A and B are shown apart, each in its own frame.
Chain A
């Protein structure tokens, strides 16, 4: 079974508007972490935002916020006031807390975002 599902292969957004990138996850652990990474065309992987399973408030980092709905097992990324430089591939990822040495970060298939001027 897929641990991380990103159902939107591609998204378009008008510059200065907000956009939501969907992510659902599957885990039976109580302790886990959710991450979003950005991969521009240059290929680098840039950390954007983190949400812990026990965090009561949604994470925010500048224009990025994470809409965390634990019961629905969703961790959608919201980008406000989109900029042309936001055009990139976006990956959702999860680390589960189980195991003596913890666990690896598992990634979804990604969503390509294109910001239109």
Chain B
């Protein structure tokens, strides 16, 4: 597609339910990132993939959060047993090449995000 696509755009769920958020990156983009953004704050890094390999998951808050990208394209962020504090905008971003020591200029293209509300 032309841009990074995320679905659903909005998700309302009850506390304790599991949710799965989907990200379809720009075609051909190698790297895929998940960020979480609270209202009025900057995006907070969650995890990152190169192709299908999860290279960094240091930002995942706890073991209720997981992500996968099995074929190196579409990614799913799963939150199990949701809690009210999980409510936020979840953003996916992709970049053409992996970042590295000589590729610090790789900018991220962001999707519109999934607004998650846990009641």
Contact = CB atoms under 8 A, between A and B. Distances in A.
B42 A108 contact: yes
Contact of A104 (B33, B102, B105): B33
Interface residues of B, number: 30
Provide the main secondary structure of the chain B interface. loop
Given A43-B112, A45-B91, A101-B99, A33 B41 contact: no
B16 interface: no
B99 A95 contact: yes
B43 interface: yes
Nearest to B110: A45
Contacts, number: 75
Given A44-B112, A91-B42, A50 B101 contact: no
Contact of B106 (A53, A95, A99, A110): A95
B119 interface: no
Interface string B43-76: 1110010100001100100000000000000000
A102 B89 CA distance: 25
Interface of B: 33, 40-45, 48, 50, 55-56, 59, 89, 91, 93, 98-110, 112-113
Interface of A: 4, 31-33, 35, 37, 43-45, 47, 50, 52-53, 91, 93, 95-99, 101-110
